[in-house]
Amino acid sequence: MVALGLAGAEAGAPPEPFALYFERARSAGLHSVPHAGEFAGPESIWGALTALGAERIAHGVRAIEDPTLVNYLAQHHIPLDITPTSNLLLGIYPTYVAHPLPRLHAAGIPITVSTDDPALFQTTLNEEVTRLATDFDLDVAAINDILLNGIRYSFLPAQRRQELEAAFQSERAILKTKHSSGDGSNLLNI
């Protein structure tokens, strides 16, 4: 066990009443990764940050509604673990086009993608990653950054994060070489 989370209906259940539990968990060496900012909006993210000492926010997509919060998340490098399909199926956003993932990433907030509950939402991590290119029209550099954020903002020891990032970069270089044409121009901007 490395972290304490908080999930469930946000409406009528703000994070502040759980502060004591998170304080105890952090004192015991656990990280704080609550769900916030999906249904209840920016106020639940602020509550998770101030009352629960959140180091990462699961969801957090409604941060886009508060420019001060967007700046805070970017400046303090607090990642949002975004689950696009879940957000659509729960009615948070009507389409991927309306989803703020690209704007949050462009604002400098560290973004990761995940599945939330794959069995419930009938999605996989591969499908969510594919959506970064297809439904969100992100370029390869942005997708690589989002994928690497999964490593960079994990709670693994620093040495292991460095090893995984180096392995990712090595595989990326191999793919780039493999998919380059003979004249040196890249067919695939990896």
Look up the pTM and report it: 0.88
pLDDT tens-digit readout, 130-184: 999 999 999 999 999 999 999 999 999 999 999 999 999 999 888 888 877 554 4
Q: Which two tokens stand for residue 58?
A: 């699961």
Round to whole Å and give the CA distance between 125 and 129: 6
What distance in Å separates the CA atoms of residue 96 and residue 22, rounded to the nearest whole number?
A: 33
Terminal-residue alpha carbon distance, the chain? 35
- Which residue type, as a one-letter code, is found at position 149? N
Query: What is the spatial distance between Cα 175 and Cα 19, in angstroms, rounded to a whole number?
Result: 46
Q: Looking at the domain that runs over 3-155, which CATH code has it been given?
A: 3.20.20.140
Per annotation, catalytic residue among 10, 16, 23, 38: 38
Which pLDDT belongs to residue 8?
81
Contacts of 5 (CB under 8 A, 6+ apart): 33, 34, 35, 58
Radius of gyration for the alpha carbons in the chain, expressed in angstroms and rounded: 18
Task: Read off the pLDDT of residues 27-74 as tens digits, 9 standing for 90 and up.
Answer: 999 999 999 999 899 999 999 999 999 999 999 999 999 999 999 999
Q: Is 12 helix (H, G, I), strand (E, B) or coil?
A: coil
Q: How far apart are CA 55 and CA 72, in angstroms?
A: 13
Catalytic residue status for 165: no
Residue 2 has pLDDT above 60, yes or no: yes
Q: Which two tokens stand for residue 124?
A: 């996989």
> What is the predicted pLDDT for the residue at 182?
52
The pLDDT of residue 81 is 96
Instruction: Yes or no: say if 62 and 42 are a contact pair by the CB < 8 Å rule.
Output: yes
pLDDT above 60: residue 185: no
Report pLDDT for 189: 53
The span from the CA of 117 to the CA of 108, in Å, is: 26
